[in-house]
Amino acid sequence: MTRLWRVEVLAPAEQAEAVEAAFEAAFADILQASSRMERGKAWVVQALCEAKPDVARLKALMARFKGLAVEVATLPDRDWVAEGLKHLPPVQAGRMRVVGGHHPPPRTGGNELLIDAGPAFGTGQHATTRGCLLALDRLARRKAPGRILDLGCGTAVLAMAAARLWRHRRPQILASDIDAASVIEARRNIARNRLGDAIEAVAADGFRHPRLRAAAPYDLILANILALPLVRLAPTLSRHLAPGGVAVLSGLLEEQEPAVRNAYRAAGLILLGRFRLPGWPTLLLGRR
C-alpha cells in the first residue's frame, strides 16, 4: 500500500470542474487520482498524490481561484485509488456503456466495456473521455475506418470503444502511450474485454515509434491528451492522417481551444464538429 497526500478544496459548482482540471495539470507528476463530489450547493474537489505537494506550486494553483481555501492532509496506508474506483458509477455515452470491475461484467458482444484504471487515465468519468466516446458514437454511423490510432491511450477505453462500435468491420486498431505502466493496464483491459485480436497496444513516444509510422496513414486518430502536446503534434499528426480521415482531439480546456484549432488549421485540418461538455471541448477535425 502507498501513503498518499490528499489535497481538498470546497468550490462553487461552476468552478469545480476547472479546479479538478487544475489539480490534474499541476500535480501530473505525483497525481494518483482526482475526484469531485457534490456537497450541498458546493462541490468537494480532491486530488490524491503519491508525494507531498509542493507548497509554492499549490499557492500558485489556488491564486487562480480567489477565495477558495485548500486543505492538505496525509492518509493512512491503504489502497485509496482502488477504494475510490469502487464507487464510480457506470458511464453511458451514446451507445457505449463503461463499467468498472466492481460492477457485473458486461455482456459479450454488446456496446459495454469493463475498465479498471489502475495507474492509467480513462475510466469514462472525465468529460474529455465522455466527449471522445460521444464523437466515436457519431462517427460509427459513417463508413468504417480501416486503420485507427488511439494516441495516448491510457486504459485503452477509446480503442476498445472503437473495436466494439465497428466490430462487424474489424478495423486495424493500434493503441499507444508514452507511459509503460499505462500500456500494461491497457493490455489488461483489452484482455478483460476479449479484444486482443482487434487491438495492439504499444509503448511509444508519439509518431517516433516505427510501429506507429508503419501502420500509417490512419483513417481515424484519437488523441485525448493535453493542449500543449496536441499543439506540438499538429504537423506530425496531420501528416499521418489519411485523405478523408478524421482526428478526434480532447484533453483541452475551453480557453485552450483557439490555440489547438489554429495549430491544426495551419497543419491543413479544419473543424468538422465539436462536443462541448462543461469546460471541456472535444474536436473533430478533417482535411480541407
d(CA 38, CA 26): 22
H-only helix segments in the chain = 16-26, 55-62, 80-85, 127-139, 157-165, 180-192, 210-215, 227-239, 257-266
Question: Of 282, 116, 269, 288, whose CA–CA distance to 191 is shortest?
Answer: 116
Which carries the bigger pLDDT value, residue 44 or residue 86?
44
Q: For the chain, give the percent of residues with pLDDT over 90.
A: 41
Cis before 171 (ω within 30): no
d(CA 137, CA 152): 20
| Span 189-199, pLDDT tens digits | 999 889 999 99
All three cell numbers of 278, joined, read: 462543461
Look at the alpha carbons of 119, 125, 130, 133 in this order and tell me if their dihedral is positive or negative: positive
Q: Are 221 and 207 in contact (CB under 8 A)?
A: no
| Span 209-264, pLDDT tens digits | 999 999 999 999 999 988 889 999 999 999 999 999 999 999 888 889 999 999 99
| Span 80-116, pLDDT tens digits | 445 555 555 666 777 777 777 655 555 555 677 877 6
| Span 115-160, pLDDT tens digits | 765 544 444 446 788 889 999 999 998 888 999 999 999 889 999 9
Beta-strand pair 147-151/218-224: parallel
Looking at residue 80, its pLDDT comes to 46
Looking at residue 78, its pLDDT comes to 55
Q: What are phi and psi of 286, to 5 degrees?
A: -145, 175
Domains of the chain are: 5-80 (3.30.70.260), 88-287 (3.40.50.150)
